[in-house]
Amino acid sequence: MYKNSDGEESERVLSNLRMVTKNGYSGYDFSVLKADCKLRETERHFKIDRIKGIEIL
């Protein structure tokens, strides 16, 4: 389960998962989960603190 910046929750099926570090606007770095998203049919970045649960299939 993932919660977006508007607070809306959605269930995602992801593949090709990897952790990457991004540069934040306020000068700090943060980690995201970079993965192919079945729902959006493209590669997406997911903020770790917005992931509410994980189920390994």
**Residue range 7-20: mean pLDDT, rounded:** 94
**pLDDT band per the 50, 70, 90 thresholds, residue 57:** confident
The average pLDDT across 15-43 equals 92
Q: Is residue 56 part of a domain?
A: no
Q: Is 57 contained in some domain?
A: no
The whole-model pTM stands at: 0.78
Contact 34, 18 (CB under 8 A): yes
Domain containing 27 equals: 2-50
Please tell me the total count of domains within the chain.
1
How many separate helices (H) and strands (E) can be counted in the chain?
0, 5
Q: Is residue 55 part of a domain?
A: no
Cα–Cα distance list, 42 to 6, 21, 24, 45 (Å): 20, 19, 22, 10
Contacts 24+ apart (CB under 8 A), 26-32: none
Would 40 be classed as within a structural domain?
Answer: yes
